[in-house]
């Protein structure tokens, strides 16, 4: 076993430093946790420290085989992809307060299709200031990426995403009232995509009630404005109200539920508006100390990047299971199905004008080995399939990856 682990380590480090990998999928933001009004960076024992500043470096390396790198409906092209993702987080804890910044880069290199090579980067800054009866919290995020994760893009689309989200809250007995502001900007780097550049400004008010020490009820209202730089008719406003529950129903079961009406109205009277409900449900269940399950369901309205269609309705479900069958060894399986229903008719090629509907299935199966507290290996199979009523958007993608993660 020691020889096998040593071989895997040498192989991964050699590949990672020789050349880099596939689609940007930043992980550094996973360190930021939210529970009710609390938003903070999850910490661990720091092995590196300069004065009061704690340093958390990490590096992920991956080699991956992909049989459809361009997500094409036919004549799929395969390739082997190398990836290295270094990153670092700096934390400055001050009594009950926390300041943190994080940076992560992603270098991608394809063996055959070198025109797909790319570099991506991600940054965040967090200020969490806490006093007995009030708090201020500010989170800023910035990414320069061409990744397709979380988008409907079939090809690489370089863009900048930036958001700032300050909030201030006051605690009184079991109640907490919070006022927040969020500004999100998406700026595409290619002129051909300029019509999709947009920004969204939101103001929110949330009332939390502590039912128990680990369970909160909440009522939330959000007003927002959507503005497009080069497509003024797509601008509009939104009003959203949600009621929810967040926390531990029992020690082994965590729930996060938010549901309510969402009214999205566009400036142009002929544009289709979204007047319906949105919601999300997340369940985390520790069946045993070595068996963990997650279940998620969601429904939302998402700004579209397809022709002149304003938005699509997205609804989906996700299931994750993890089983630590031996010390340090964990098997996992994750499956997600979601559907995008576009709000307006469109024509592609010779098809008759119709509403676009896309069905997606994603499956991950794998094995994870924690060699040390600071080193982990993962062997995984990834399946992605999209079936659309516009056949041009169909694709099936199979990938196999071997990943090492080192965090010091």
For each successive 10 residues of the chain (408 residues), what is the average pLDDT? 38 33 55 85 85 94 94 90 95 94 94 89 95 96 76 70 96 96 90 80 97 95 90 84 96 96 86 90 96 97 82 95 97 97 82 87 98 95 94 93 94
Number of independent structural domains in the chain: 1
The DSSP element (H or E) to which 6 belongs, if any, is helix 2-18
Q: What is the pTM of this model?
A: 0.84
Closest CA to 219 of 205, 229, 230: 205
Structure confidence at residue 4 (pLDDT): 36
Structure confidence at residue 290 (pLDDT): 96
Helices and strands, number each (H, E), in the chain: 1, 21
CATH code of 320's domain: 2.40.160
Structure confidence at residue 2 (pLDDT): 41
399: containing domain: 2-407
Structure confidence at residue 210 (pLDDT): 96
Structure confidence at residue 230 (pLDDT): 78
Closest CA to 329 of 282, 296, 369, 286: 369
Structure confidence at residue 261 (pLDDT): 97
Structure confidence at residue 30 (pLDDT): 80
* Rg of the chain taking only CA atoms, in angstroms: 22
Rounded Cα distance between 337 and 155, Å, is 21
Closest CA to 380 of 310, 332, 312: 332
Structure confidence at residue 20 (pLDDT): 29
Structure confidence at residue 195 (pLDDT): 75
Structure confidence at residue 308 (pLDDT): 76
Token code pair at residue 3: 């020889």
Structure confidence at residue 19 (pLDDT): 32
C-beta of residue 63 within 8 angstroms of C-beta of residue 31? no
Distances, alpha carbon 100 to alpha carbons 36, 43, 48, 135, 379, in Å: 20, 10, 15, 16, 31
């Amino acid at each position: 076993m020691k020889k096998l682990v040593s071989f895997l380590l040498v192989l991964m480090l050699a590949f990672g430093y020789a050349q880099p990998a596939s689609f940007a999928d930043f992980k550094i933001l996973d360190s930021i946790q939210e529970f009710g009004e609390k938003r903070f960076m999850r910490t661990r024992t720091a092995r590196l420290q300069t004065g009061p500043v704690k340093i958390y470096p990490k590096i992920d390396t991956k080699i991956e085989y992909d049989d459809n790198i361009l997500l094409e409906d036919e004549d799929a092209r395969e390739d082997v992809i190398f990836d290295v993702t270094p990153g670092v987080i700096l934390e400055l804890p001050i009594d009950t307060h926390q300041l943190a910044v994080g940076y992560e880069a992603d270098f991608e290199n394809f063996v055959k299709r070198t025109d797909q090579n790319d570099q991506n980067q991600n940054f965040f800054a967090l200020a969490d200031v806490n006093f007995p009866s009030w708090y201020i919290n500010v989170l800023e995020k910035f990414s320069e990426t061409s990744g397709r994760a979380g988008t409907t893009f079939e090809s690489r689309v370089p863009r900048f995403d930036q958001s700032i989200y300050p909030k201030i809250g006051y605690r009184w007995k079991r109640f907490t009232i919070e006022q927040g502001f969020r500004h999100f900007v998406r700026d595409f780097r290619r002129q051909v995509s300029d019509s999709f550049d947009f920004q969204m400004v939101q103001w929110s008010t949330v009332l939390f009630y502590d039912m128990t020490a680990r369970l909160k009820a909440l009522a939330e209202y959000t007003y927002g404005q959507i503005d497009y730089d080069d497509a003024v008719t797509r601008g509009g406003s939104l009003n959203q109200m949600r009621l929810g529950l967040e926390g531990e129903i029992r020690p082994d079961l965590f729930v996060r539920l938010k549901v309510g009406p969402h009214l999205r109205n566009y400036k142009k009277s002929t544009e289709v508006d979204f007047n319906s409900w949105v919601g999300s449900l997340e369940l985390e269940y520790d069946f045993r100390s070595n068996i963990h399950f997650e279940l998620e369901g969601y429904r939302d309205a998402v700004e579209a990047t397809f022709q002149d269609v304003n938005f699509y309705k997205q609804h989906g479900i996700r299931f994750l299971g993890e089983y630590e069958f031996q010390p340090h060894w964990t098997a996992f399986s994750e499956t997600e199905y979601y559907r995008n229903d576009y709000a307006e008719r469109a024509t592609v090629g010779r098809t008759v004008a119709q509403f676009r509907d896309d069905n997606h299935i994603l499956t991950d199966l794998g094995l994870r080995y924690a060699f040390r507290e600071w080193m982990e290996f993962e062997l995984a199979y990834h399946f992605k399939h999209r079936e659309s009523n516009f056949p041009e958007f169909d694709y099936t993608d199979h990938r196999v990856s071997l990943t090492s993660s080192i965090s010091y």
